[in-house]
Amino acid sequence: MIKKILKPFQEVLLQRKLCVGCTSQLDKADRIGILTKNSDLVECKCKRRYVFDRKLNQYRRASLQEDRQYIKNLKK
Ligand SMILES: [Zn+2]
């Protein structure tokens, strides 16, 4: 039982599709861009960015690299 409690809290929130910062629903967050064929970049109202994997139907934090890729695409 204790192990369950030790599971990273952020991971649990993401599994529930909630922002790790403000716990709002990521399904309602803004889809700000497309990263790849199967993933979208999503920005929460608190400005945290996530990657939504359409295949896995899952959210995860966007890496710095993905963030940069998005900015690069904006400038095109
Ligand atoms: Zn948030």
Residue 22 CA to ligand 1 center (angstroms) comes to 4
Strand order across the 39-43 sheet: 30-36, 39-43, 49-53, 58-61
Count of structural domains, the chain:
1
Higher pLDDT, 6 or 57: 57
Q: Which of 38, 48, 40 is nearest to 70 (CA)?
A: 40
pLDDT digit string (tens) for 13-71?
A: 999 999 999 999 999 999 999 989 999 999 999 999 999 999 999 999 998 888 888 77
The verdict on residue 55 lying in a domain is: yes
The verdict on residue 1 lying in a domain is: no
Residue 60 CA to ligand 1 center (angstroms) comes to 13
Higher pLDDT, 74 or 76: 74
* Residue 15: per-residue pLDDT: 94
Residue 73 CA to ligand 1 center (angstroms) comes to 23
* Residue 26: per-residue pLDDT: 97
Q: Is the pLDDT of residue 2 over 60?
A: no
Q: Residue 19 has which token pair?
A: 């922002």
The verdict on residue 18 lying in a domain is: no
The verdict on residue 53 lying in a domain is: yes
Residue 42 CA to ligand 1 center (angstroms) comes to 10
Put residue 37 in one of left, alpha, beta given phi > 0 → left and psi -120 to 50 → alpha.
alpha
Range of the domain at 54: 7-13+23-74
Residue 58 CA to ligand 1 center (angstroms) comes to 16
